[in-house]
Structure 1
Amino acid sequence: MAAALPNDRLGFLLSFRGELTGARIRAALGVAGLHPRSVMTLMQLAPGAMSQRDLAAAMEVDPSQLVAMLNELEDQGLAERRRDPADRRRHIVEITETGAAALERVDTAVNAAERELFGGLTDAEQVLLRSLLDRVVVDPADHDCGAG
């Protein structure tokens, strides 16, 4: 039996296309000089202020990692933290006007990148692709694998 070619292996194909897609999206994020995690943080904050704890949970990151990310965003004037007047132990995080403007530039660049990447797909095909990708198991803990 002959070995399968890389394009015949769905995992290899998805990995290769994922690397190319990731590079294109990172280039789009570069218009604002931001790292993907910084953009994700600003995207979470765009709808409105939230507690630092809720932000960490929404982003699925350790609170200590979030502190480092927020320090960087604050240093750049893109987000700010303040104590919650109702509970001084709690920090409220919000995007600044400068952060919102940077996010708008990123959004425009990502929209252009996605038009290039997915322009050959109909709207229905894009919905199907999203649905299929949502079903791909990337964390073995999320999948029972018949054990137990």
Structure 2
Amino acid sequence: MPSQESVTDSLTFLLGKVGQVAAGRFAEQLAPLGLRPRHCAVLELLAAEPHGQLALARTIGVTPSVVVDMLDELEALGAVRRVRDTVDRRRQVIEITDDGRALSRSAARIAGQVDVDVLGALDPARLGELRKALARVAAAHRILPGG
């Protein structure tokens, strides 16, 4: 890779700045639903299958206390419910509710709209290339849940 003449021309700087814009717009659009970006991965994971709190924390890479806070917030929205494990009564299993599934679908639509708003200057072929490239980078750094 060639040496960089300018920090502001670096991919690191540009990705960071575009990421700030995208994250800010995503958070603004989610707010009326009572959601924050950090809730979205939790809802997607729970849509696939129920998880224990500790497993959920490990999967999304946060501390158990952060997961408890997120689950409290999601439970207040009616998006998740805590259920006692039938095998180990000390353990709680987290399940997504129908309201949670609807919120997750709404969040996905919002994310798609933010993609269009932020990246609309790129043609569809370039967007596909960018999505694949960023997915590879995210996977290499284990950024995405389950990655």
TM over 0.5: yes
Pair 1:67 & 2:68 matched: yes
Structure 1 residues not aligned, in runs of 5+? 140-148
> Matched residues, percent identical?
34
CA apart distance, 1:114: 1.5
User: Tell me, what secondary structure is at the counterpart of 1:93?
Assistant: strand
Structure 1 partner of 2:127: 126
Aligned pair count reads 137
Structure 2 residue 80 is the aligned partner of structure 1 residue 82 = no
Matched residue, 1:16: 17
SS of match in other structure, 2:90: strand
Aligned residue identity for 1:61: V
Q: CA deviation at 1:117?
A: 2.8
**What pairs up with 1:1-148 in 2 under 5 angstroms?**
4-5=5-6, 7-122=8-123, 124-133=125-134, 134-135=136-137
Q: Distance in 1 between matches of 2:39 and 2:123?
A: 31
With normalisation by structure 2, the TM-score equals 0.76
SS in 2 for 1:87: coil
Q: d(CA) in 1 for partners of 2:69 and 2:9? A: 42
Which letter does structure 1 place at the counterpart of 2:137? R
* 8 Å Cα contact 1:31/1:106 also seen in 2: no
The two structures have a TM-score, normalised by structure 1, of 0.76
Q: Partners of 2:91 and 2:125 in 1: how far apart? A: 44
Listed one character per residue, the Cα deviations across residues 28-62 of structure 1 (whole Å, up to 9, x for unaligned) are 32241211112221122111212222211111111
SS at structure 2 position matched to 1:82: strand
User: Which residue of structure 2 lines up, in the alignment, with residue 143 of structure 1?
Assistant: none
Give 2:31's aligned amino acid.
G
1:89 alignment partner, SS class: coil
- Alpha-carbon separation, structure 2, partners of 1:72 and 1:10: 35
Distance 2:113 2:80 in 1: 25
Amino acid at match of 1:74: E
Q: What's the Cα RMSD here?
A: 2.6
Report the secondary structure of 2:35's partner residue. Answer: coil
Secondary structure of residue in 1 paired with 2:62: coil
- Report runs of 4+ in structure 1 exceeding 6 Å deviation: 136-139
State the structure with more CA Rg: 1
How far has the Cα of 1:98 moved from its partner?
Answer: 1.3
